[in-house]
Amino acid sequence: MQRAGLGWRSRRFGGGLWRSRWPAATGDSSSLPCPRALSAASPSTGCRARGGGAPPAGASNVKPLDGVKILDLTRVLAGPFATMNLGDLGAEVIKVERPGAGDDTRAWGPPFAGTESIYFLSVNRNKKSIAINMKDSKGAKLIRELAAVSDVFVENYLPGKLAEMGLGYEDIKKIAPHIVYCSISGYGQTGPMVQRGGYDSIAAAVSGLMHITGHEDGEPVRPGVAMTDLATGLYAYGAIMAGLLQRYKTGKGLHIDCNLLSSQVACLTHVAANYLNCKTEAKRWGTAHGSIVPYQAFKTKDGYIVVGAGNDQQFVTVCKILNLHEVSKDSRYKTNALRVQNRRELIDILSTRFLEKPTIEWLQLFEGSGIPYGPINNIQQVFSDPQVLHNGLVMEMNHPTAGRIAVPGPGVRYSEFALSHPTPPPLVGQHTVEILKGMLGYEDDAIEELLSTGAVAQHEVR
């Protein structure tokens, strides 16, 4: 099952993206062919890639990762979120799961749709599931064979764990030198914390995110969704795309080290820079901002509204809308630096005024003003919001056991192809036989032996 040579892909395995015998980059890109799936190429399919919107009428719906095969050994959130986004762009994602239980999140609930965890359903569309017992030598052998015919290998095991099974990067590199191998962990592949398990809340605490999240005088707070996991998933998603481009240029695969701690520390941005450059220790600000005033939530007569004034002219406009003309002329509030210095007095004045009207009235007054503003919506209000509806952020699918399901889709649109017709999240081992036959060329008797010994499992959809 090995490739015949570095940077080459047999047509038997589907033609795939980034793998023909192309010259390494020399600075003259005119000699390089268009990086797209060979199996989907046509004379009318150009080399353009532009963002935004639905594809124009008559446009080809070739996706950028058509033909790319991703072997996905990740579980829970960061890894599955990354591979789901790759699947949205056309990649064939092969999700490896434990026979029986599968991904840990399959048991996370309630809520459930029938017997399916909503949590699992939310981050596993556009994937095929193969159930493999990796502790069985035959199962580990299957992973190696699948890696040899895949473009990308993604895993989130404790560092060193897969190497013990002969499935670490150095092991896979020997049989698949083209592989883009992405390891997602809690703290990195080396270092003093390497053997600690990676959990969102722990990484959010260690990275400082919880220290800066919560009410000004309150306790540290965990964000409402697992932002550290999601940020890591997005970093991994981008890094894998970069890895594919790097292989396109060099003909070689590579190892990517992506971890929760590094991802979250990198996302501290200006808060981290404040400390690194000024030794200013960060604090919690609730909904407010440490360097911009006003920029926070205000309680109204019946809810909340968030309003920001990013410059002095916007502050004058806010005061005009609130009918606080004298405040805009007050020397204590003339510049943002002065407003930050006199934050407490100013916020008290604004807060008192916002309490006088219901949220809808304030929204109407701010409409068209050029001031950034918006209500604090509950989730029902989010999915009733006209802009959310217009942006088409809900994907609906028919699941084999849960029935009709809906999940939030990707937050990006492209002009030349549509992110439409997603496949529903798979059942555990739903595609085992299909993958063994289609990707590895196994015959029925060999598959039956694997099934009978428990090396693999097939879920029968009724």
Residue 341, Cβ density class (10 Å: 0-12 exposed, 13-18 middle, ≥19 buried): middle
One-letter amino acid for residue 80 of the chain = P
**Which three-class secondary structure state does DSSP give residue 218?**
coil
Query: Which secondary-structure segment (H or E) carries 95?
Result: strand 92-97
Is the CA virtual torsion 214, 122, 267, 411 positive or negative? negative
How many Cβ atoms are within 10 Å of 39's Cβ, its own excluded?
A: 12
CA–CA separation, 196 vs 378, rounded Å? 36
How many Cβ atoms are within 10 Å of 222's Cβ, its own excluded?
A: 16
Is the separation of the CB atoms in 153 and 172 below 8 Å?
Answer: yes
Which entry of 72, 151, 229, 302 is annotated as an active-site residue?
229
Phi first, then psi, for residue 6 (nearest 5°) are -60, 135
- Indicate left, alpha or beta for 214 from its phi (over 0: left) and psi (-120 to 50: alpha): left
Residue-wise DSSP of 107-163:
G--S-EETTEEHHHHHT--SEEEEEE-TTSHHHHHHHHHHHHT-SEEEE-SPTTHHH
Q: Is 136 a catalytic residue?
A: no
Is the separation of the CB atoms in 281 and 245 below 8 Å?
Answer: no
Q: What is the bridge-based pairing of β-strands 92-97 and 69-73?
A: parallel
* Cα separation of the two ends of the chain: 33
Phi first, then psi, for residue 17 (nearest 5°) are -65, 145
CA–CA separation, 433 vs 237, rounded Å? 28
As a 3-state breakdown, the chain gives helix, strand, coil percent values, each rounded to 5, of: 35, 15, 50
CA 265 to mean position of chain CA atoms: 17
What separation in angstroms does the CA of 285 have from each of 268, 269, 296?
14, 16, 9
Assigned token pair, 263: 């991802």
CA 380 to mean position of chain CA atoms: 23
- Biggest CA–CA distance in the chain, Å, is 86
What is the three-state SS of 341-352? HCHHHHHHHHHH
Query: Which secondary-structure segment (H or E) carries 295?
Result: strand 295-299
Question: Hey, which residues are catalytic here?
Answer: 229
